[in-house]
Amino acid sequence: MTLPATIYAGDTVTWTDPYYDSNASALVYYLRTNYARGATISGTSSGKNGWIFTLASATSTNFALGNWVYQARATVSNQPATVRTGSFVVAKSLAYSGSPGAVDLRSQEEIDLENVETAIRTLTSGAQEYRIGTASGGRMVKRADLAELIKWRDRLKSAVLAKKRADSIANGFGDPRKLFVRWM
């Protein structure tokens, strides 16, 4: 088993990398994201069975949600060399204590899109101002420009659809924009 495709924030994750070289003194996984965060995980040699890695829950709890990349580097004869690269997703933990509450699994772009569409509906119904965000932490804009909101909505829609398309392809469902027809 190699590094899983999805890691839930707060979980302890253990995996085995099958890399074997009798001269290898170390195998290290470097995990990184776009948000200037990361982790370095050193493996424990298991001989011909490869290397065993454990990502502690205390480390994964602080992981930013979203796409991450990794690089596995072996040290052979004091020379580092990349043996594996890839990507994984850090997802929100669904664990709870007490009684379960609602969980919002939408991306920030999807949340923003809903807020902008609500603002557009508010303005088209005759209002002169709108609020984006929560009542206590929202942003109030007076005499809003409907054209700017529509541009913002279109950019967010594009970003949401691009993400869904990429997720569909990454999960093996293919490109949702392509239609295949088979004639009998």
Domain ranges of the chain: 6-91, 108-169
DSSP single-letter state for residue 77 = T
What is the CATH T-level fold of the domain 108-169, as seen in this structure?
Head-to-tail joining protein W, gpW (3.30.1580)
The average pLDDT across 41-57 equals: 93
Express each pLDDT in 94-117 by its tens digit: 877 777 777 777 878 888 888 888
pTM of the model: 0.60
Please, what's the b/e burial string for 34-46 (b: 16 or more CB within 10 A of its CB; e: otherwise)?
A: eeeeebebebeee
Please, what's the b/e burial string for 5-32 (b: 16 or more CB within 10 A of its CB; e: otherwise)?
A: eebbbbbebebebebeeeebeebbbebe
Strand partners for 142: 129
Lowest mean pLDDT among 3-17, 64-78, 150-164, 166-180: 166-180
Confidence at residue 162, expressed as pLDDT on a 0 to 100 scale: 86
56: its two tokens: 């502690």
| CATH code of domain 6-91 | 2.60.40.10
Strand partners for 129: 142
CB neighbours of 102 closer than 8 A, spacing ≥ 6?
A: none
Express each pLDDT in 19-45 by its tens digit: 998 889 999 999 998 776 789 999 999
